[in-house]
Chain A
Amino acid sequence: MSAFIHHFAFEFRIGTRDRNLLMLNYLFPLGLYAFMGFLMIELNPAFGETLIPSMILITMLASMILGLPNPIVAARDAGIYRSYKINGVPASSIISIPALTTIVHTTIVSGIIVITAPILFDSPLPSNWVGFALVFLISALAFASLGVLIGVISSSIRVTVLWSQLIFLPSMMIGGLMIPLSMLPDALARFSLLLPSTHSMNAFLEFGYGITTDVLATASLAIILSGAILAFALALYLFSWDSQNSTRRGPTTLALLALLPYLAGMIMLG
């Protein structure tokens, strides 16, 4: 336990020491929050109603989907995991600790958003804090697990960027963060059900704010929870200690299985 705590504390500090992580964990989401708050609400006042969950999900996307994978690839390439293996650091710690510390960073930024949004932008606070916290936790686990999985299967930082952007950009555009799902054309709305952000936003609105949405929120919550479990299990299974001559337990294409809950959701809910 002591080792886990030391490791956690060290990883957490790295998140504030490393310029890239500092940018993706704090500066980018908070900068975007200020921009969205001051500009988007001016253009579309309805955006203010969902500013808090939208910005929390954007924070998760930035820190977990864009920020989390690269250090995993870099550490593997630099032989850090080899050194960890020799010294008895388990693979489960190597992949869970960065995910957990990133969740803590995201929680801090989310706290800042929740506290300041009502004051600065007159955004409503959640009506059900327990439901809101539950959706936050499950969403954070889903995004963090996906981020770790991308890092584990990517052969280089270039590849992580490709995978990350494949999730980040559609999530920003059609994931319900800036444009409500109901306003999207049917085909796009259906396609957006492949994205974790769509389900998280849906669950935030239903369980946090009591707003009934077009998609069954309980199903959305079940989808992101099973997505989180599946992605983490796959990351652990496909984890490799070394970038050279390493033997994975399976092909990296297995990672696509993490999409199964979302695919099932798209078929059943779309």
Chain B
Amino acid sequence: MVTADKNDLRRRVDEYHKKNVLYIIILLIIWFIVSLGGILAVKTLNEFTFLGFPFGYYLGSQISIIVFIIEIFVYAKLMDNLDKKYGFYED
């Protein structure tokens, strides 16, 4: 019985973990684009202005930070839902 339960748990964890990794990869792609990607594209982006800022500069100095903050809370909320679905939610 113990072995069956353990394999069951392992399967549940593996499935849960795969979805977790998917969320992480998507969020890291966004993270990459607004920061490191922004550096690569800055000269093109600077051709546009926003609120008086060259857009590439604005991306690096403000948009990136705001996106980072939103991403972390989005991840926490997504994982709350995933936790509930797989029975791992802590309350």
Is B truly associated with A? Answer: no
Which A residues are closer than 8 A to B by beta carbons? none
